Structures are given as structure tokens and as C-alpha cells.
Amino acid sequence: MFRPRIIPVLLLRNQGLVKSIRFTHYQYIGDPINAVKIFNDLKADELVFLDILASRDGRTISLDFVSKVGEEANMPFSVGGGINSLQNIREIISAGAEKVVLNAAAAKNPDLIRQASETFGSSTIVVCMDVKKRFLGRNQVCISNATKFIDHSPIEYAQMVEEKGAGEIIVQSVDLDGTMKGYDIELIGRISENVTIPVIALGGAGGLNDLRNAYINGHANGLAAGSMFVYYGSRRGVLINYPDKAELKKIIQ
């Protein structure tokens, strides 16, 4: 039976692992390589690392860091942060990552998606679409840590990303990031209905019921989260965790 991928998304800030709430209020979580070791033991399906300062600083995610993850990780992993050229992608793949995650560069230069998919294969190229509500609750795509909006609705942007050749798309709700109140199921469902590439839900997951809801009602192919996998309990104590086999079965039953 098909089971959606369950994917921890880990944020890097100055080489440390952090977690945010609505793209602000960053809390230091710990050492990212140690987190990889724990997720190895917990048999995570896949990992995503995003360097949240790379674009602002005019650089890409550290190749040395990518190499270290590649040496340690037993699962596939993707990385993003400041990637804006074919050469960046080539270096990152050579360093050990299975996929790259494009964000601002995809919005500013959509042809990079096409060029990258033609050069490295569509399965290597992931686009992360950040979505934030604006006037009257209307969702709009944003970039640069949600400080700039682009002139596309989420559906228009997702369809463009697919047409350009991306292998999958991460749909991230900025408003729900770190809240652990559940995904934006309506948003995820509408994107899933309008594209054929895999859709990965991100932003707001707080428990197994949220994962199940995004899979059953949002039709997401991948279920990603940050807080859910680094916090434990109502007081949000830092504890790297991941569902066991019995819990994973509950998502699809």
C-alpha cells in the first residue's frame, strides 16, 4: 500500500539548527549533524535542510556541510539556500545531496527550473513555494523570508513550476509555520488538484492527525514538518523524534 513520505525539514542558521514561528522568533535547537544521526536511528524517510540566511548573505548553503550530511545520512536528503545557477546545483549534487530546493531563484528566473530539470533530471529539482495570506485572507506567493510578494496566485505558480519541469513542489504556509495547529488543508488540496507532480505539505503540523488530514483530505504525496520532529510535549521541550512503524500505519488507515 502506498504511504506518503514523512519528511523532517530542518532549518540552518549560522551552521546551527533552529526552528521558527511564522518565519520569525528563531530558537536554537542543536547541532544539525547530531540530528542526522538521530534521524538515521529513527529511520526517517527523507530529510530537507534549508539555509535560511544564504540568499540574504549572497551565498549558497555550505558545500562542506552538504558533504558532512552525505557522509552521515542513511536516507535521501535535499538542500536549499541561495541556489541560483546550474553550477550551484552541480556542486551540491556532487557534494552528496539527492535533490536541490529552489525558492527565490525559481520565482525570479523560472527558466532556471527548466534548465536545471533538463540538465540534472526533474527528479532532482524541488521548488519550495512559500504562501502567505494578504488582504481579505487571499493567499499569495512570497519570497525572501516572506518579505516580498510575487504576482502569482499559488495555483498559477504551482502550474508554472510544473510546466517548467520541477519534479515536485513543497507548499509551505508562512502563517502556520511553527504553530503546530495543522496544515492549510484547503491550500494543499487546491494545489494537489491542479498539478500532477508530487505535492509536499509543510507548515503547521503538530501531530499524526495533522499528517493524516493532509494526506487524506489534502491529497499530499509528502508530509513535511519542522516543529513536530524537534519538539516534544506542550512545553515544547527539544527532543528529536519521528513516528514509529505503528504510528505511520495510522496515517493511511
> Checking phi first, is residue 144 left (phi over 0); if not, alpha (psi -120 to 50) or beta?
left
Q: Is 130 a residue of the active site? A: yes
> Three-state SS across the chain?
CCCCEEEEEEEEECCEEEEEECCEEEEEEECHHHHHHHHHHHCCCCEEEEECCHHHHCCCCCHHHHHHHHHHCCCCEEEECCCCCHHHHHHHHHHCCCEEEECHHHHHCCHHHHHHHHHHCHHHEEEEEEEEECHHHCEEEEECCCCEECCCCHHHHHHHHHHHCCCEEEEEECCCCCCCCCCCHHHHHHHHHHCCCCEEEECCCCCHHHHHHHHHCCCCCEEEECHHHHEECCCCEECCCCCCHHHHHHHHC
Catalytic residue among 51, 111, 130, 210: 130
Residue type, 67: S
Residue type, 57: D
55 strand-pairing partners:
none
> Checking phi first, is residue 219 left (phi over 0); if not, alpha (psi -120 to 50) or beta?
left
Give catalytic residue positions.
Answer: 130
